[in-house]
Amino acid sequence: MRTRPPPGQSPEPLEADIARILLHRDQIDRRVRALAADIAAVYSRDDIGLTLVPILSGAIIFLADLIRCLPLRMKIALVQISTYPGARTTPGDPQTVLALSGDVGGRHVLLVDDILDSGRTLRRVQALIRERRPRSLRTAVLLRKPARAPADVPVEFVGFDVEDQFVVGYGLDYNDLYRNYPHVGVLHPELMP
């Protein structure tokens, strides 16, 4: 077995670091379009105003594709939370990197995240948003790990349920790498501690 260089430092394409693809780009695209239709059906009946709050940095790819499919007037407010700093594959305590920006008070808010795993990040951000008294708060995630997702973290829109593995791609990272990988996959085990 050859020794692999540190992740992201190989001259080989990203595909060389991926052991297995769980979700192909075309599957993701179809599901994001379907989620957008479901979301639009909920919010198109109301003219209060919709604000999307993506949790940076993992949700940026999902958000970009999702909003292009939403035929609604919307605003975007940002928040950045770090749960997997550095080369970690197990979640730590969520740390606020960028406080919630934008006014969400009195508006319908759709919180957008890449994955529901331990629920720590979503629980924290949902509480931050509730403090600002939105008209409503719903949550959309691209991925959910049913084996780990806590029942006390409500999520109304789910792209895919996935197995309990550390995944990268489509915005999800390992050591801040692989966000640009167009599929969702699992890294070769030797690339992670």
Which positions are catalytic?
117
Query: How does DSSP classify residue 162?
Result: -
Structure tokens of 92? Answer: 């730590």
120 burial level (CB within 10 Å; 0-12, 13-18, 19+): middle
CA 189 to CA 193: how far, in whole Å?
8
Do 189 and 19 touch, CB atoms closer than 8 A? yes
Q: Which of 101, 58, 52 is nearest to 83 (CA)?
A: 58
Q: Which of 45, 100, 57 is nearest to 75 (CA)?
A: 100
Side chain identity at residue 122, one-letter code: L
